[in-house]
């Protein structure tokens, strides 16, 4: 029953049972620990916002959850494609939609199942709930009742009322179709469209496509009785009649002959292989019935290798599902306190989605989906886990809402709004954004040393296309071209500058420089020639040393110790007492820097003081005022241990050096990070939780960083190499292309140097 996906029915039930029945719970967002909290949250304090709202209803958006709360409301009459299961049995789907709202757009949402099939009763119930919510998402209500319910509620309510199965589906279908037609080289005005399923989703899909240019006479709609033609009398209603065409076609079979596009929002297995084989060249098939499509992609491809196929499911490529729409449509609408979600907002959403799919795909998405995606037949629409959706789609929706006059509180600073959306979902985003803004200003020519690695190439393309500056890629022209093409970035070949020993004018200068450095270390001219012309790390470092680039990123293909050894031919990293690696750990909205994660194996107290200085420098570089803790397993001399002595002495060294930042130690990690534990040491010089942790050795740094990453899911940036005169950053071997871009941005901002 659970279909093609590898999940079993038992797993699906266990998922809904554990750890607690259902999928959502409600948490308080304010403190409720003391009597004072109680007095503020409840009586008497709560009276104040009540009276304020009574005097000015708009204040409900400031003092209550209204502005970020959406109700998902159903009566269970068309639960997915499972039919009329009733209100109670629809609850798992509605809870699921509420979770998706939260996960993808940070919209709080609650499911409400109404036990009625009467339009009037349904409308009356929802209307009465209006004050509670910023928006109403109607779900899985069958046609034609859904049309009456939605239009009456829209008329009666002053918040967005949106039937997801109609408009959410239509928007995603439109976005997918824009791109599918782009690939098949056809125009929406010309294509013959067959739509099967004349219900909520079907009617809305066809209406939106007609608004976008599809011609009425080219669109054939079918239902359980076959083609909806002018003059048909059985199984009709006014919404179907609007799409009836003058035609002799009577069955889906007839209609599919020569059709360019099939859109299915009907039921499992409604389409046969024979029908598909009769379609026009490069047919587009969106089999969107859930959970089982009208025809599976395997079946369709068996008879038509040239078909572009999409389904509503997560386990096939091209998921055309309203999950890509409703979270972001409501996010944008809520943020302008919209009165409604109108056609312009829907079209803006569809166009923004279509455009996003044509851009390069970040690595996080590839990891979530286990394969690299690039625009084409198997990737016509962004995937739900694409982290760009949250900051790309709602601004497009909000802008369209503002342009069409439904905004009660227009957004003044659109770029700031997009940044706040990114930060809302990802605590690392604001730090990364700060670096990114500075990098964009710096316009550094960034040397990407490992041009033979596809992750590096994608990072280089992203660096340049995002306007950070010029990307210089060290590699062989033909190899770079082939790898870019394989990564779906063939058009970037002309954009990137590929540099190598064979095409540089500077090889002789580089060799002379290198020979001078290495001639007394056992290297002859032949060795130097080989290093300079064949080793891309050395070549890249030589470019940087001669200012033929402004920053350098490497290390994605070599262990960092090895990369450092190669770079040492040109710069003195290991010998440089100031060279330190600092790693940023970001988790639950907090950031902690840790060092040394790269260079010093077993630092003494002098080295530890230097590491603290490096950490403080990076903290300031990231816009934080440093508070450094020397961490150990002992706190201020207890328990006594030889191994803790250097951690105890390091603050004394810093004091002698006259450090201009807060530092303290030695202490355990909880004393460093938890103010309640720290309160036991009132003499501590730290005025708040530490944000730079200096650890006793590289192994403890490595263990701590990896533990945070694996157990807590912390985001890691770095190690950031500091103290070296030139902006060099060494990515780690399992970096994603986004990590490599981040390292390039750090180099561009000279965070470590």
My answer on whether omega of the bond before 144 falls inside 30° of 0, hence cis, is yes
Q: Indicate the SS3 state at residue 109.
A: strand
Q: Enumerate residues 6+ apart whose C-beta is below 8 A from 191.
A: 181, 214, 218, 260, 261, 284
The answer to the question of whether 79 is labelled as a binding residue is: yes
Q: Residue 140 Cβ, how far from Mg ion at the closest point, in Å?
A: 4
Cα gap 615→626, rounded to integer Å:
8
Q: Is 86 annotated as a binding residue?
A: yes
97 catalytic per annotation: yes
Q: 218 phi and psi, to 5 degrees?
A: -90, -5
Question: Should residue 140 be labelled a site residue for ligand CC(=O)C(=O)O when binding is judged by CB under 6 A?
Answer: yes
Please select the residue that binds ligand NDP; options are 182, 210, 215, 225, rule is CB under 6 A. 225
Least distance CB 187 / ligand NDP (angstroms): 24
Between 321 and 722, whose beta carbon lies closer to ligand CC(=O)C(=O)O? 321
Q: Which residue is nearest to ligand NDP (CB)?
A: 199
Residue 322 binds ligand NDP, judged by CB under 6 A: yes
- The C-alpha torsion from 529 through 530 and 536 to 538, rounded to 10°, is -60
Is 67 part of any known ligand binding site?
no
Instruction: Restricting to residues 289-328, name those near ligand CC(=O)C(=O)O by CB under 6 A.
Output: 290, 312, 321-322
- Applying the rule CB under 5 A, the residues between 105 and 164 that interact with Mg ion are 140
CA 447 – CA 475 distance, rounded (Å): 11
The reply on whether position 221 binds ligand NDP by CB under 6 A is no
Q: Which of 66, 91, 97, 511 is catalytic?
A: 97
- Whether the bond between 490 and the residue before it is cis, its omega within 30 degrees of 0, is no
Which residues have CB under 8 Å from 229's CB, separation 6+? Answer: 244, 245, 246, 247, 248, 249, 250
Over the Cα atoms of the chain, what is R_g?
30
* Shortest Å, Cβ 427 to ligand CC(=O)C(=O)O: 30
Choice from 109, 218, 266, 296 touching ligand NDP (CB under 6 A):
266
Report in angstroms how near the CB of residue 16 gets to ligand CC(=O)C(=O)O at its nearest. 18
- Cα angle 401, 407, 413 (rounded to 5 degrees) comes to 85
421 labelled binding-site residue: no
Q: Which of 342, 318, 319, 321 is nearest to 332 (CA)?
A: 342
Interface with ligand NDP, residue 288, by CB under 6 A = yes
- Between CA 324 and CA 333, with CA 329 as vertex, the angle to 5 degrees is 165
Does residue 72 bind ligand NDP (CB under 6 A)? no
Going by C-alpha positions, the residue among 333, 29, 350 that lies closest to residue 170 is 350
Residue 52: Cβ within 10 Å count:
14
Task: Give Cα 71 to chain centroid, integer Å.
Answer: 24
Binding test (CB under 6 A) with ligand NDP, winner from 24, 52, 69, 80: 80
Q: Which of 165, 260, 550, 666 binds Mg ion (CB under 5 A)?
A: 165
Question: Given the rule CB under 6 A, which of 40-48, 194-202, 340-348, 562-570 is the region that contacts ligand NDP?
Answer: 194-202
DSSP, collapsed to helix, strand or coil, labels residue 324 as: helix
Residue 81 interacting with ligand NDP (CB under 6 A): yes
Contacts of 155 (CB under 8 A, 6+ apart): none
Q: 83: annotated binding-site residue?
A: yes
The CB-of-671 to ligand CC(=O)C(=O)O minimum distance in angstroms stands at: 50
Site residues (CB under 6 A) for ligand NDP? Answer: 78, 80-81, 142-143, 165, 169, 196-202, 222-225, 235, 265-267, 270, 288-290, 312, 320-322
Site residues (CB under 5 A) for Mg ion? Answer: 140, 165
Q: Hey, which residues are catalytic here?
A: 97
Binding-site entries for NADP(+) = 79-86
Site residues (CB under 6 A) for ligand CC(=O)C(=O)O? Answer: 80, 140, 164-165, 290, 312, 321-322
């Amino acid at each position: 029953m659970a279909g093609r996906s590898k999940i079993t029915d038992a797993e699906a039930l266990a998922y809904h049972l554990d750890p607690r029945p259902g999928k959502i719970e409600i948490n308080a967002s304010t403190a409720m620990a003391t009597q004072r909290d109680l007095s503020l949250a409840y009586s008497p304090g709560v009276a104040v916002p009540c009276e304020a709202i009574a005097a000015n209803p708009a204040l409900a958006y400031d003092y209550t959850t209204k502005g970020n709360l959406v109700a998902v409301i159903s009566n269970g009459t068309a639960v997915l494609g499972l039919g009329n299961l009733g209100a109670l049995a629809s609850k798992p789907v509605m809870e699921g939609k509420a979770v998706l709202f939260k996960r993808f757009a940070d919209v709080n949402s609650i499911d409400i199942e109404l036990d009625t099939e009467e339009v009037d009763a349904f409308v009356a119930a929802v209307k009465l709930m209006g004050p509670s919510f910023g928006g109403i998402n109607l779900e899985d209500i069958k046609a034609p009742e859904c049309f009456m319910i939605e239009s009456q509620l829209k008329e009666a309510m002053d918040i967005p009322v949106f039937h997801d199965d109609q408009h959410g589906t239509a928007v995603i279908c439109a976005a997918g179709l824009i791109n599918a037609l782009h690939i098949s080289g056809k125009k929406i005005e010309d294509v013959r469209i067959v739509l099967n399923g004349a219900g909520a989703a079907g009617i809305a899909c066809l209406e939106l496509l007609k608004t976008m240019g599809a011609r009425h006479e080219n669109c054939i709609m079918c239902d359980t009785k076959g083609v909806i033609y002018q003059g048909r009398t059985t199984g009709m209603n006014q919404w179907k009649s609007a799409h009836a065409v003058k035609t002799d076609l009577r069955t889906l079979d007839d209609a599919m002959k020569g059709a360019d596009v099939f859109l299915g929002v009907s039921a499992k297995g409604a389409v046969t292989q024979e029908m598909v084989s009769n379609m026009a060249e490069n047919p587009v098939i969106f089999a969107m019935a859930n959970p089982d499509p009208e025809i599976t992609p395997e079946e369709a491809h068996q008879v038509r290798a040239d078909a572009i196929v999409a389904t509503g499911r997560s386990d096939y490529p091209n998921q055309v599902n309203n999950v890509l729409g409703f979270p972001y449509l409501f996010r944008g609408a809520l943020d302008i306190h919209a009165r409604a979600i109108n056609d312009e907002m829907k079209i803006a959403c569809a166009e923004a989605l279509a455009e996003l799919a044509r851009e390069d795909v970040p690595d996080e998405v590839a990891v979530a989906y286990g394969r690299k995606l690039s625009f084409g037949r198997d990737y016509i629409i962004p995937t739900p886990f694409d982290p760009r959706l949250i900051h790309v789609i709602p601004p497009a929706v909000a802008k369209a809402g503002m342009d069409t006059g439904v905004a009660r509180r227009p957004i003044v600073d659109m770029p700031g709004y997009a940044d706040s959306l990114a930060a809302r979902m990802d605590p690392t985003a604001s730090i990364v954004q700060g670096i990114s803004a500075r990098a964009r200003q710096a316009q550094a020519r960034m040397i990407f040393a490992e041009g033979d690695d596809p992750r590096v190439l994608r990072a280089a393309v992203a660096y340049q296309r995002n306007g950070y500056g010029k990307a210089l890629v060290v590699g062989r022209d033909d190899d770079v071209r082939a790898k870019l093409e394989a990564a779906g970035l063939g058009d970037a070949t002309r954009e990137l500058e590929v540099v190598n020993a064979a095409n540089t004018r500077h090889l002789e200068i580089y060799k002379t420089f290198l020979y001078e450095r290495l001639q007394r270390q056992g290297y002859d001219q032949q060795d130097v020639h080989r290093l300079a012309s064949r080793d891309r790390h050395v070549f890249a470092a030589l470019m940087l040393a001669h200012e033929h680039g402004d920053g350098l990123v490497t290390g994605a293909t070599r262990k960092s110790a090895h990369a450092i050894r190669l770079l040492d031919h040109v710069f003195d990293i290991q010998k440089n007492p100031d060279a330190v690696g600092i790693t940023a750990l970001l988790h639950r909205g907090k950031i902690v820097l840790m060092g040394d994660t790269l260079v010093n194996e077993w630092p003494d107290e002098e080295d530890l003081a230097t590491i603290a200085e490096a950490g403080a420098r990076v903290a300031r570089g990231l816009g934080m005022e440093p508070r450094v803790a020397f961490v150990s397993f002992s706190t201020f001399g207890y328990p006594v241990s030889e191994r803790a002595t250097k951690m105890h002495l390091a603050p004394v060294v810093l004091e002698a050096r006259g450090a201009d930042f807060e530092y303290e130690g030695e202490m355990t990690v909880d004393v460093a990070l938890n103010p309640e534990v720290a309160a036991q040491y009132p003499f501590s010089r730290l005025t708040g939780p530490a944000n730079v942790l200096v650890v006793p050795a590289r192994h403890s740094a490595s263990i701590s960083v990896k533990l945070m990453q694996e157990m807590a899911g912390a985001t890691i940036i770095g190690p950031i190499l500091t103290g070296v005169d030139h902006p060099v950053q060494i990515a780690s071997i399992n970096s994603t292309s986004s990590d490599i871009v981040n390292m390039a941005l750090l180099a561009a901002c000279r965070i470590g140097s």
